[in-house]
Amino acid sequence: MADLKDKVILVTGGTSGIGLACAQLFARSGAKVVAMSIQPDEGKALAEQMTAEGHQCLFHPGDVGCEEDVKAAVRLAVDRFGRLDVAHANAGVLKNQKITDLALEDFHLLINVNLLGAVLVAKHAIPVMRRQGKGVICFTTSVAAEIGFPEHAVYCASKAAVVALMRSLTTDHTPEGIRFVAVSPGTIDTPMLAASCEGWDKPKEELYAAVAQKIPVRRMGQPIDVARAVAFLVSDEADFISGSVVHLEGGTLALPPW
């Protein structure tokens, strides 16, 4: 387990799927966690569960596309725990469409959550980390940044933009002591993935089994697979890693194109 003892960590989208696994693993590894999302019931349950286990975790309800909400989440971490060591910009939404049918409200939702949410986390976390002379910002991108998923053009574009954002921030702020990393999951068993199977002509279990057979490791990813990698990347043991994208996709990207 990575050593995150006493690290103060903000996780957006920290109440479901990948973000939930990250928030739980961070708290169980000794970190002081602030989870932010638009799911107040799940947030309350997470904070209660972690507290009952003897760990430290607060929930902050808020929309990552709203600057005041992100600012308030960063402020909560600093006010309650005295600093902000790690910000994990993980909140995301997935919507598919043919570009010719694109509703502009879907475009704005994807960009507001997936890209603006990441931008706002960086905007408000960096000044705190700069004052500390140290910090790590991790972004959750996707293999969709590199693979042309059919009928997901705007989602793919939003995730590729996050990688570009992460690299540019590295050149600006890593000399100030702030590291930037991105995790790029493949197919991970989360509520987002389950929702994307709705409307298919096969049951979810059948679809998942077929997908697993195409992945070189022959299984789908679990949220904890991503959480373990993030825990390492944001720990001091990963001190030389900045500007990197770590793929967590069971070998999918290594497959030949036939």
Ligand X SMILES: NC(=O)c1ccc[n+]([C@@H]2O[C@H](COP(=O)([O-])OP(=O)(O)OC[C@H]3O[C@@H](n4cnc5c(N)ncnc54)[C@H](O)[C@@H]3O)[C@@H](O)[C@H]2O)c1
8 Å CB contact between 45 and 23 = no
Query: Per CB under 6 A, does 18 bind ligand X?
Result: yes
C-alpha–C-alpha distance, residues 38 and 91, integer Å: 10
Name the minimum Å distance from CB 184 to ligand X.
7
Q: Which stretch binds ligand X (CB under 6 A): 169-177, 180-188, 198-206, 228-236?
A: 180-188
Name the minimum Å distance from CB 92 to ligand X.
2
Strand partners of residue 59:
35
For helices 153-173 and 117-132, angle between their N-to-C axes, nearest 10 degrees = 20
- Give the burial class of 4: count Cβ atoms within 10 A of its Cβ; 0-12 exposed, 13-18 middle, 19 or more buried: buried
Contact characters 98-127, ligand X, x per CB under 6 A: ---------------x--------------
Q: Which stretch binds ligand X (CB under 6 A): 59-67, 121-129, 205-213, 228-236?
A: 59-67
Residue 172, both tokens: 């600006």
Q: Name the DSSP class of 46.
A: H
φ, ψ at 247 (rounded to 5°): -85, 135
Among residues 139, 155, 180, 208, the one annotated as catalytic is: 155
Clarify whether 208 is annotated catalytic: no
* Strands annotated E in 150-257: 178-185, 244-248
Query: Which residues from 203-242 bind ligand X, rule CB under 6 A?
Result: none
Query: Per CB under 6 A, does 24 bind ligand X?
Result: no
- The correct pick among 121, 145, 166, 188 for binding ligand X (CB under 6 A) is 188
8 Å CB contact between 22 and 230 = yes
8 Å CB contact between 86 and 140 = no
Q: Which is nearer to ligand X, 29 or 252 (CB)?
A: 252
Name the minimum Å distance from CB 177 to ligand X.
26
Binding site for ligand X (CB under 6 A): 12-13, 15-19, 37-39, 63-65, 90-94, 113, 140, 142, 185, 187-188, 190-193
Residue numbers annotated as active site: 155
